[in-house]
């Protein structure tokens, strides 16, 4: 009953604060859209490569749409890169290729590297192909000679048989004529079948992607983690600041001068802001699925559930952290300390490859579990059984923080 009074108040306050509402509901969509376009297409980047005395065959294979080639007359790579603002410089001495990277833009460096590598592989293949081609030509001419021989032989047999048939017919020996006719048919049949088997078998490949498509982008692979992050970030900020406001304006201690339980206040907050978190989640998830045509492999309900749990953890964490802040400004100061580090452990960098002490840190971050679960559901279609442990840990975070919050309010009233 009293909890619901708090919930109603939270709802009324939020609905009247249009700016905060917009921040919570529109900002995630805006940022997602921005990221979608930012990470959409990174193949338009072109690196410039200077070359000096390099075999034309090599230059030809390196010259792709990601690398433009400029020819220069100097072998001084360092100087030329500086002078012409190049990303790399390639020189050749006999069979030895030497590449110098400017490396001021690592993306361009890797573009050149990739082009060079695939180009050299292509070149090797080409030489291989020419060799085989020559061998094949030799083989084919032999085969043709063989064929001619067999054809001549068959021809001889056929003519022989034909004359025999004619002789038999002239003799009126029908039976022998028929027998010879059969032989003739057989002889012609063998030649046609031998030509058929010479045809080569060719394979075609067709690729299927379970999640995303052949042009899957950075955006798509990290989308699930971001879905969790947005909810976490905004709920943390809004709930933390609003409880802080209650503390600084004195309404919190005024509330505690009524018979309300401390737990009822916290529950009111959980339900009230949890409600807004659900709306936010539904909005962002539906938006990404419909507008960006993101393919969701798993159940959308599991996405909602995971996000709700993340939101509740963020809520209790925000309330908890707000007790250490004395102003909104101080609350903002906790964002780089508490919220931003979490995004690094949300799957942007694979946690398995981290140093063990970093892995330990990852395991105390709620977003690590939330993002893991979300990624599993969205990209692999994981079920409740697969992500159950992650969800339970989130519940654990929430329960512990809620307890701490309820105890923490003893500052304002002893019971």
Q: Which residues of the shown chain bind another protein in the complex (CB under 8 A)?
A: 1-2, 5, 8-9, 12-13, 16-17, 249-251, 253-261, 412-415
Residue closest to 242 by CA, chosen among 20, 57, 1, 414? 20
Pairing of strands 47-52, 88-93: parallel
Q: Are 391 and 309 in contact (CB under 8 A)?
A: yes
Please, which residues bridge with residue 260 across strands?
none
- Provide the minimum distance between the beta carbon of 278 and another protein in the complex, in angstroms, as a whole number: 22
Compare residues 12 and 53 and give the one whose CB is closer to another protein: 12
Compare residues 260 and 278 and give the one whose CB is closer to another protein: 260
- Provide the minimum distance between the beta carbon of 410 and another protein in the complex, in angstroms, as a whole number: 9
- Provide the minimum distance between the beta carbon of 16 and another protein in the complex, in angstroms, as a whole number: 5
Pairing of strands 96-101, 88-93: antiparallel
- Provide the minimum distance between the beta carbon of 412 and another protein in the complex, in angstroms, as a whole number: 6
Compare residues 200 and 415 and give the one whose CB is closer to another protein: 415
Compare residues 237 and 378 and give the one whose CB is closer to another protein: 237
- Provide the minimum distance between the beta carbon of 258 and another protein in the complex, in angstroms, as a whole number: 4
Sheet containing 96-101: order of strands:
67-71, 47-52, 88-93, 96-101
Compare residues 337 and 415 and give the one whose CB is closer to another protein: 415
Q: Are 317 and 236 in contact (CB under 8 A)?
A: yes
**Tokens 């309330």 -> residue:** 319
Compare residues 293 and 414 and give the one whose CB is closer to another protein: 414
- Provide the minimum distance between the beta carbon of 9 and another protein in the complex, in angstroms, as a whole number: 5
Compare residues 401 and 409 and give the one whose CB is closer to another protein: 409
- Provide the minimum distance between the beta carbon of 25 and another protein in the complex, in angstroms, as a whole number: 18
- Provide the minimum distance between the beta carbon of 407 and another protein in the complex, in angstroms, as a whole number: 14
Compare residues 65 and 414 and give the one whose CB is closer to another protein: 414
Gyration radius of the chain over CA positions: 37
Through-space distance between the first and last CA atoms of the chain, rounded to whole angstroms: 19
Q: Are 306 and 391 in contact (CB under 8 A)?
A: yes
Spatial distance between the Cα atoms of 304 and 222, rounded to a whole number of angstroms: 17
Compare residues 8 and 84 and give the one whose CB is closer to another protein: 8
- Provide the minimum distance between the beta carbon of 413 and another protein in the complex, in angstroms, as a whole number: 5
Compare residues 31 and 260 and give the one whose CB is closer to another protein: 260
| Residue 346: C-alpha distances to residues 221, 363, 370, 401 (Å) | 12, 11, 8, 21
- Provide the minimum distance between the beta carbon of 2 and another protein in the complex, in angstroms, as a whole number: 5
- Provide the minimum distance between the beta carbon of 260 and another protein in the complex, in angstroms, as a whole number: 5
Compare residues 15 and 189 and give the one whose CB is closer to another protein: 15
């Amino acid at each position: 009953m009293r909890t619901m009074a708090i919930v109603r108040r939270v709802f009324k306050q939020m609905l009247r604060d249009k700016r905060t509402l917009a921040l919570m509901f529109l900002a995630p969509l805006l940022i997602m859209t921005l990221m979608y376009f930012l990470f959409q297409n990174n193949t338009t980047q072109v690196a410039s490569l200077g070359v000096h005395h390099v075999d034309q065959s090599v230059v030809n294979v390196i010259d792709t749409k990601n690398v433009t080639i400029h020819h220069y007359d100097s072998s001084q790579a360092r100087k030329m890169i500086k002078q012409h603002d190049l990303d790399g410089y390639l020189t050749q001495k006999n069979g030895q290729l030497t590449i110098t990277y400017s490396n001021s833009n690592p993306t361009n460096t890797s573009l050149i590297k990739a082009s060079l590598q695939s180009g050299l592989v292509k070149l090797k293949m080409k030489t291989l192909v020419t060799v085989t081609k020559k061998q094949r030509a030799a083989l084919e001419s032999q085969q043709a000679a063989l064929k001619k021989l067999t054809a001549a032989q068959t021809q001889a047999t056929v003519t022989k048989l034909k004359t025999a048939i004619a002789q038999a017919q002239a003799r009126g020996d029908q039976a022998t004529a028929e027998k010879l006719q059969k032989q003739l048919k057989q002889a012609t049949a063998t030649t046609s079948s031998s030509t058929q088997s010479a045809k080569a078998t060719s394979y075609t490949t067709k690729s299927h992607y379970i999640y995303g498509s052949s042009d899957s982008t950075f955006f798509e692979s990290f989308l699930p983690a971001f879905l969790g992050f947005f909810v976490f970030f905004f709920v943390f900020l809004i709930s933390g600041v609003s409880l802080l406001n209650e503390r600084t304006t004195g309404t919190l201690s005024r509330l505690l001068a009524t018979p309300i339980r401390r737990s009822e206040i916290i529950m009111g907050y959980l339900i009230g802001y949890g409600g807004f978190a659900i709306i936010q989640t539904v909005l962002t998830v539906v938006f990404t699925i419909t507008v960006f045509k993101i393919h969701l492999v798993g159940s959308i309900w599991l996405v909602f559930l995971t996000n709700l749990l993340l939101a509740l953890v963020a809520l209790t964490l925000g309330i908890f952290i707000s007790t250490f802040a004395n102003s909104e400004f101080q609350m903002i100061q906790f964002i780089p300390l508490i919220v931003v580090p979490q995004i690094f452990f949300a799957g942007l960098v694979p946690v398995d490859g981290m140093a063990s002490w970093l892995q330990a840190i990852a395991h105390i971050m709620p977003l690590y579990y939330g993002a893991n679960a979300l990624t599993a559901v969205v990209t692999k279609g994981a079920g409740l059984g697969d992500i159950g442990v992650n969800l339970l840990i989130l519940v654990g975070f929430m329960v512990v923080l809620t307890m701490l919050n309820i105890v923490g309010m003893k500052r304002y009233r002893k019971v």
